Structure 1
């Protein structure tokens, strides 16, 4: 029997951007669970992994910078899953990406506020919007959802991914509260994927994250389940840090480095210093409490 807090009736939801790895995986899982899905994509050609003849799947050509196209995709939806994919002509994060991401966040939250069927918005943010600030080494408590990265610190050290995610998420929260939109955010760790490379903007400052005990990663399936869990559970609120791997041991760091740069030389023989384990200083207890019941329910899917 499902917990009473979970919504038992599949509804119509919108996923944007459905052409990214997270978005397309979300669409697939939601369809499996019986939802009708409006897949909002910037280019139709990128949803090749999904069967377009599924009667519960409707594909919309939608751009986060085109307000009307968002309104069209949201029509009749009770839920909205939003993750930002950089424009194709600007795939890398730089000092101007925060303006782009803020504009997109503003558009989608405004569109949700104008769509009276929307019951909940799940906004994908990042752990990089939590962990970066001047006093991060001196603070005695673990990092959790209550922490925010300092935008001035991010600018100073050119942590453009963290800056973009922080200001975009803050924009979304301000608008959601002002407009009365029921929103939760998922602050995701670095998503594990076969095509992950050293150039991923999340990895700027990776050595510092590792030594601070806050370098976190998430399997794609776990991240998808977390999104659906916080949508379906009526008790959810605020932000949720989402990860299921912490890189805080030398062997984990070496494995990750080999995955990111497979053509590099064999790593040097570990020294005694390499046996250190950095204390984990980031907590995802808030999400894990929710996921226990959710995962018990998905075992029988």
Structure 2
């Protein structure tokens, strides 16, 4: 059973898409917490669950495509909750102007399927901080922070070809519209840039990285923290709305250099850059999530806190 302190009665969760690092880690963590998990993958022929030891009846694997409404319904059958994240289709992996329509269609199918699955009690929809940070006027005298109340400006994204931000914003707005219309209990996790071995310089979140840095809104998140955030907002009965999720901000020159070195190893930078100690003022806040997670992280089972580094599905 999940921790009783969270008044959680949701015992079977669908994780869509379990083929990602986030999805795989969520499956493993939820199984350890006593849940039954329906893990969806998009291609059973190329993807297999690795390194997951559990009772056979606790894990069910479904080949489910977010563009195939009936396959979503099959995966959701008998589930009381869904944790959803979008993975671009293998034949259309690049974020461009058309990806917004693709991601919106997937979000629409998934939320509509949830509305038709009468056992679904809660949906955690994985969105992005990029659906929050773009297109806001920066007042040099203002101390206001960007947070969950803000939305990225779609026209700004179109003008500057920020296709990832545009797609995430359109998809999340579509999900919220359907959730409110169909009476679905939904929360979103607006994640910063996910750090890890899979991160490359081609990651679409990085479009506009220099501007994010200069504006004090370039935020990142570790996989463990992101997984905890998803489970926390799912289990906490009082969770609501959007949650901006990050545990680090890149606002110092050394942080930016470290990230650049990780993405594209280069010879040592000039000493003048390494000696630059200026700190960019932070203009983004995740206080709403942090308040919710204070008790959650303190009450995690010992096996969660000491979990070994998990591998991704491949």
> Shorter-chain-normalised TM-score: which range?
over 0.9
**1:260-279, aligned counterparts within 5 Å?**
260-262=263-265, 264-271=266-273, 274-279=276-281
Distance 1:47 1:153, change over 3 A: same
Query: Would you say the 8 A contact 1:16–1:23 is kept in 2?
Result: yes
2:114 corresponds to which residue?
Answer: 112
Deviation at 1:265, TM superposition (A): 2.2
Equivalent residue, structure 2, for 1:203: 206
Is the CA contact 1:213–1:282 (under 8 Å) kept in the aligned structure 2?
yes
Confirm whether residue 23 of structure 1 aligns to residue 23 of structure 2.
Answer: yes
- Report the CA distance shift for 1:46/1:128 in structure 2 as closer, same or farther (over 3 A): same
Corresponding residue number in structure 2 for 1:229 = 232
Unaligned runs of 5+ in 2: 304-314
Shift of 1:268: 1.4
Q: Of residues 73, 95, 98 in structure 2, which corresponds to 1:96? A: 98
1:62-93 superposed Cα distances (whole Å, 9 cap, x missing partner): 00000000000000100000000000011110
Shift of residue 101, structure 1, vs aligned partner: 0.1
Q: For 2:10 and 2:167, locate their aligned partners in 1 and report how far apart those are by CA, in whole Å.
A: 33
- The partner residue of 1:174 within 165, 177, 195 is 177
How many residue pairs get matched?
299
Q: What TM-score do the two structures reach when normalised by structure 2?
A: 0.91
Deviation string 1:164-223 (CA, Å, 9 cap, x unpaired) is 000000000000000000000000000011121111000000001001110000000100
Stretch of structure 1 that moved more, 281-290 or 45-54: 45-54
Q: Secondary structure at the match of 2:276?
A: helix
Query: Residue 152 in 1 paired to residue 168 in 2?
Result: no
Alpha-carbon distance in 2 for matches of 1:34, 1:218 = 26
What is the CA–CA distance in structure 2 between the aligned matches of 1:299 and 1:280, rounded to whole Å?
A: 33
Can you give the 5+ residue segments of structure 1 that lack an aligned partner in the other structure?
A: none
Contact 2:8/2:236 (CA < 8 Å) preserved in 1? no
**RMSD of aligned alpha carbons:** 1.8
* 1:247 corresponds to 2:255: no
Structure number with higher relative contact order (C-alpha < 8 Å, ≥ 6 residues apart): 2
